[in-house]
Amino acid sequence: MTSDEHPLIPRVLIFDSGVGGLSVYQEIRQLLPDLPYIYAFDNACFPYGEQPQELIVERVLRTVAAVHQRHPLCMAVIACNTASTISLPALRKTFSFPIVGVVPAIKPAAAATRNGVVGLLATRATVKRPYTHTLIKQFASTCDVRLLGSAELVQLAEEKMQGKEIDKERLRAVLQPWLDAKPCPDVWVLACTHFPLLKAELQQLAPAGVQLIDSGQAVARRVKSLFSDELLAAAQGLSEPNRAYCTYWDEKTATLASLFARENLGQLQLLPV
């Protein structure tokens, strides 16, 4: 990527249907602290894991376009496993800037397992998608991969970000099939960007020795690799503010304003889509 091909301001969009993409934003910002970031979440259609495929593609395209029209983008990160599995081809056909998706960390999980049993924790949509099963066949064919689809964990992560206390029994109920299994998966793939936000709670409930793996660091490295040294150096002198947008506003959304301020994303604003 060169500055001639993209906007002089190297803005990066982080997109999700909810706040789960903050887990990816945190990893990218830790690696690239000087870039200006825009976080946009399509909470008008949250959660994506429960929506028809055609609607998801339409909403992703419309939201990314709305942000790009206001603030010309240098790159977009689709920080949602569900959206990534179905919308990347349409996005790459529509926009000239790089589009980075999130892929379930099945390959590193297969390399890390000691007992050969890998757990894939995702939304119900991701669990069902052929793309996920193709990844398993490609990278974990010698493993016993156990799939667990849950919308409940997405909701719990959202509630945690709203400042609510996590009900461990609700969390335990979701994980019970793995906790009861003999043997239990010794590597858990957090294949939804909401789930790393519950990492501490998941680790507390997991049996000793269980390793939790997500895609955040790999996505951050991929983002960095797409920037030229020249553009990264230019970003250090910018005073461009970070921004946060939602597509629907209600009392619940209002409670998230302080969260985005803490994440150095400025004042949460409504984005008409």
Cis-peptide, bond into residue 47, ω within 30° of zero: yes
Which position among 45, 74, 80, 143 bears the catalytic label? 80
The response to whether 49 counts as a known ligand-binding position is yes
Q: How far is CA 253 from CA 123, 217, 248, in A?
A: 22, 28, 8
Q: Using alpha carbons, select from 7, 1, 2, 5 the residue that is nearest to residue 71.
A: 7
Start-to-end CA distance of the chain, whole Å, equals 29
The distance of Cα 266 from the centroid of its chain, to the nearest Å, equals 20
Would you call 45 a catalytic residue per the annotation? Answer: no
The response to whether 17 counts as a known ligand-binding position is yes
The response to whether 16 counts as a known ligand-binding position is yes
Q: How far apart are CA 240 and CA 36, in angstroms?
A: 6
Q: Using alpha carbons, select from 38, 25, 23 the residue that is nearest to residue 73.
A: 38
The response to whether 48 counts as a known ligand-binding position is yes
Which residues lie across from 40 on neighbouring strands? 15, 245
Q: Which residues of 39-77 are buried (b: 16+ CB within 10 A; e: fewer)?
A: bbbbbbbbbbbebeeeebbebbbebbebbbeebebbbbb
Q: Using alpha carbons, select from 225, 224, 175 the residue that is nearest to residue 201.
A: 175
The response to whether 82 counts as a known ligand-binding position is yes
Which position among 45, 143, 184, 192 bears the catalytic label? 192
H/E stretch holding 146 reads strand 144-149
Enumerate the known binding-site residues for substrate.
16-17, 48-49, 81-82, 193-194
Residues catalogued as catalytic: 80, 192
Enumerate the known binding-site residues.
16-17, 48-49, 81-82, 193-194
